[in-house]
Structure 1
Amino acid sequence: MKRRTLVGGIAAAAATAAASGTAAPRRIGMSDVERLRERFVEIIASDHRHGGQLGIEKRAAVLADDALTLQKASSATQRVRNSLYASAAAFTSSAMWAAIDGRRYDAAKSYMREAQALAEMSGDQTIKFRIWSHAGTMYRHMGRPADALAANDVARNLHLTRRDPLFASLGLARQGAIQGTAQDRTGVRRAFEQAQETMLRADPTDNRPVWMIAFYDQAELDSLALSAHLALGDYPTAEYHAHRCLSALRPHMVRSRAVATTRLAHAQLGQGDADTATATAMAVPAEAAGRHPRVTRMLEKFGSALATTAPRSSAVQMWSEHTAAWRANS
């Protein structure tokens, strides 16, 4: 995969020092790692606001190359080298997630393989968890629940989940979402009961990576439960979790709000309430409806289901006019 490198001044400075005939190679330290981590925070923020965009994927991939360029160009302690590999793995996992969210699965699988190798070299269990957990989500979206469970189990079996209940909770919640796809009602109920109990045991003051702090909370647990019960066709329970999720979502979770709102519309339509469901679907911001591949596809499915459920209703005409408007502006 060809990527442009040297976006920031960090790698450029290191390469310049290495090329000089008189200057000694600059020693890379944790201050350089911290600069990369600041860029990672920016990637996380972009993902939560926009999600699935090719631009986010490419920026994350370039920054992963920056981290690896530092490895090649300079001297550093083993701690710094491990941190650079962890940063490269983190950026690559963000590129992977953007590709998953944008339904670019071939690219996502390529990033996954690269991220897994980098994570092994880093020795960082938190990033290993993120990558394998993302892999489980990828296979779930692809309709491959057996592969999804296998990948998610790798994440759940890391020693990290025995030390930190919050990671254990996320692993269980994602297991529940996968079991929804597999139509395992008993598994869904058990997984979310355990995920909720385990979350309550987590110490909120523990030091955790920014990507975990930024998204996993009660709202995300309810979002995964919403997905599972929607897949099972349990629409009242799905609606219950949708309202819980939407009421608890933090302001920066723009993409997650669009996804949950769209799923709520499906849950309401599944209960035969076409008018309320249409009003809910119309509340999804036009930017997400027209530019986020996952949201766009779910809304297209909503339109098809609406036409089948209430073919002669005024809701169908309202939805048709609404979608024509946001498609024209996307």
Structure 2
Amino acid sequence: MDALWNTVLEAWMKEHGHSSNSLADAVNSAVGDLTGRLGGLDGSSIRDWKAGRVRWPKSATRVALEKVTGLPATALGFVPRGRAPSSAPDAPLEDAVERRRFLAAGTALAAASATPAFASNHRIGASDVVRLQQRFTEIIVSDHRHGGRLGIEQKAAALADEALALQNSGSASQRVRAFIYGCAAAFRSSAMWAAIDGQRYEDAIAHMREAQALAELAADPAIKFRIWSHAGTLYRHMRRPAEALAANDVARSLSLTRRDPLFASLGLARQAAIQGVAGNVTATRRGFDQAQGAMDCADLRADRPVWMTSFYDQAELDSLALTGYLALGEYEMAEAHAHRCLAALRPHMQRSKAIATTRLACAQLGQGDLEPAVSTAMSISADSAAHHPRVAQMLRGFNTKIHSLAPGSSAVRKWSQYTHATRKESV
């Protein structure tokens, strides 16, 4: 897509007597007020904004720009990720939150979801952290139920910005500030995960970079693990196993994995899944054996972050094994892990159930078991089949393969009738 010149920003700069260099200096100073570190913009960065080469600045930079100008980013001609420049001006969720940003130095913050505004002398404390953690739990619940939705990504990104804005709304202890940066990193990593799950990989990479920077400010090893482990998954889905292994190695190198066998198990299981995509049979088998061994040693009652306790268990380990063995073409082993996964999945894991069921159908089809494969594929919820990008993609592959394996068979006729009826119902 050709860049579109940001005439709105250019006009604002001209009206207020700003050159590219002077605006860069002002925003850098505001970033310093927000994060404790001066921003790194220069005149060429602002020229990129004006030329439309940067359509949506990063979180901290965007909040700082709004503090300098007194205007939301959308009013300055910037376009949120996922929205075309010609779309209607009705603001998505992220914009609704963005309008509540810094209108001037020391003004109140009115956070999203009817959060009371904070006075400029507000003392940020544990209650603010708890509120953010509760919103994070809501994001986790939505992800497990739906997964991959653009709305989840946008909500998580908006909440990351809200956490950053909170930093500048008052005074706080160093410990509380670290917690808030950790919340911002957690929200951004959830936006990253939703983008991965929705196959919006460029957006996922952008979220990843912001999440990594925020995690460094938080100095939280658990959220660092989550972000780098997600990065490994991102590159695995992009079929870039060398980068996937390198990213996952960063997660596995954290001291957390030496202290907690459950984190070690997740790192090993995701590493084995990547090895499956890379076609390394020996490393895949060894990795899953080691992951199982580490899980068997873990105290599942120990206190861990909600994102970890809500999803990683025996069912998820078997789901990753299903992924790895399916990639290797070891369909019988993949099917065994699929059945184990589905039997152990907790009720709230609706997204995981849809993905594992789709992979089970593909594993059965790989073994030539046409009737069971079709019955399994037909059991996937219509909502997931239509709206979850990864499920929909796998079902398209299933459809192509079954038609090539047994054209005209009763199983193919049954599947074709089902897909035709499903399409009619969705119209």
Please give the range of the TM-score, normalised by the shorter of the 2 chains: over 0.9
Give the AA of the match of 2:299: D
1:319 deviation in Å? Answer: 1.6
Match of 1:204 among 300, 303, 310: 300
Matched, 1:13 2:117: yes
1:135-146 paired onto structure 2 within 5 Å: 135-146=231-242
Q: What does residue range 292-303 of structure 1 map to in structure 2 within 5 Å?
A: 292-303=388-399
Q: Which has the higher helix share?
A: 1
Structure 1 position 219 matched with structure 2 position 315: yes
**Which residue, out of 162, 177, 196, partners 2:273?**
177
1:21 counterpart residue number = none
Instruction: Give me the whole-angstrom Cα distance separating, in 2, the residues matched to 1:275 and 1:55.
Output: 36
1:231 aligns with 2:327: yes
Which of 303, 306, 310 is matched with 2:402 structurally? 306
Aligned match of 1:107: 203
* 2:222 is the counterpart of 1:126: yes
Structure 1 distance, partners of 2:192, 2:391, is 18
Structure 1 runs (4+) greater than 6 angstroms displaced? none
CA–CA distance in 2 between the matches of 1:287 and 1:262? 13
**Displacement of 1:326:** 3.0
When normalised by structure 1's length, the TM-score is 0.95
Q: Where in structure 2 are the equivalents of 1:66-105 lying within 5 Å?
A: 66-105=162-201
Deviation at 1:29, TM superposition (A): 0.3
User: Following TM superposition, by how much is the alpha carbon of 1:327 offset from its aligned partner in structure 2, in angstroms?
Assistant: 3.4
Indicate yes or no: 2:156 matched with 1:51.
no
User: Residue type matched to 1:13 in 2?
Assistant: A
Query: CA deviation digits over 1:180-206, x for unaligned, max 9?
Result: 000000001100110000001111221
Instruction: After superposition, give the CA deviation of every residue in 1:103-125 in whole Å (9 maximum; x if it has no partner).
Output: 00010000000000000000000
Q: Deviations over 1:22-49 (max 9, x none)?
A: xxx1111011110110011110000000
Aligned equivalents of 2:243, 2:207: Cα separation in 1: 17
CA contact (8 A) 1:222 1:241 kept: yes
For 1:212-257, what per-residue CA distance to the aligned partner results, in whole angstroms no more than 9, with x for missing partners?
A: 0000000000000001000000011000000000000000000000
Counterpart of 2:83 in structure 1 is: none
Residues 198-207 or 92-101, more deviating: 198-207
Pairwise mapping of residues 29-40 of structure 1 onto structure 2 (< 5 A)? Answer: 29-40=125-136
Counterpart for residue 22 of structure 1: none
For residues 317 and 423 of structure 2, the distance between their equivalents in structure 1, rounded to whole angstroms, comes to 31
Which of 249, 267, 291 lines up with 2:363 in the alignment? Answer: 267
Query: Which of 277, 282, 286 is the aligned partner of 1:186?
Result: 282
Partner Cα distance (2:349, 2:285) in 1 = 26
Distance in 1 separating the partners of 2:409 and 2:298: 48
Give 3-state SS (helix, strand or coil) of 2:310's partner: helix
CA–CA separation in structure 1 for the residues paired with 2:423 and 2:189 = 31
2:387 maps to a residue whose letter is R
Q: Deviations over 1:260-314 (max 9, x none)?
A: 0000001101111111101100000000000000100001100011111111112
Q: Could you say what secondary structure the match of 2:140 adopts? A: helix
Q: How far apart are residue 7 of structure 1 and its match?
A: 1.4
Q: Distance in 2 between matches of 1:165 and 1:92?
A: 26
Root-mean-square deviation (CA), in Å?
1.1
Matched residues, number? 321
| Higher normalized contact order (CA 8 Å, seq sep 6+, divided by chain length) | 1
Q: Distance in 2 between matches of 1:227 and 1:180?
A: 8
TM-score of the superposed pair, with normalisation by structure 2: 0.74
Query: Quick one: distance in 2 between partners of 1:266 and 1:233?
Result: 10
Distance in 2 of aligned mates of 1:140 and 1:323: 29
Distance 2:285 2:403 in 1: 32
Q: Structure 1: where are the runs of 5+ without partners?
A: 19-24
Q: Which has the larger radius of gyration?
A: 2
1: CA distance between counterparts of 2:423 and 2:171?
52
The gaps in structure 2 that reach 5 residues or longer are: 1-55, 57-79, 81-93, 98-110
CA distance in 1, matches of 2:418, 2:301: 45
Letter in 2 for 1:41: T
Mapped partners of 2:232, 2:258: distance in 1: 19
Shift, 1:320, TM fit: 2.0
The alignment status of 1:258 with 2:354, answered yes or no, reads: yes
Distance 1:326 1:100 in 2: 26
Instruction: Give the 3-state SS of the residue equivalent to 2:123 in structure 1.
Output: coil
Q: Which of these residues, 234, 256, 274, is aligned with residue 160 of structure 1?
A: 256
Deviation at 1:9, TM superposition (A): 3.7
Quote the Cα distance in structure 2 between the aligned partners of 1:27 and 1:198: 43
Offset at residue 321 of structure 1 (A): 2.4
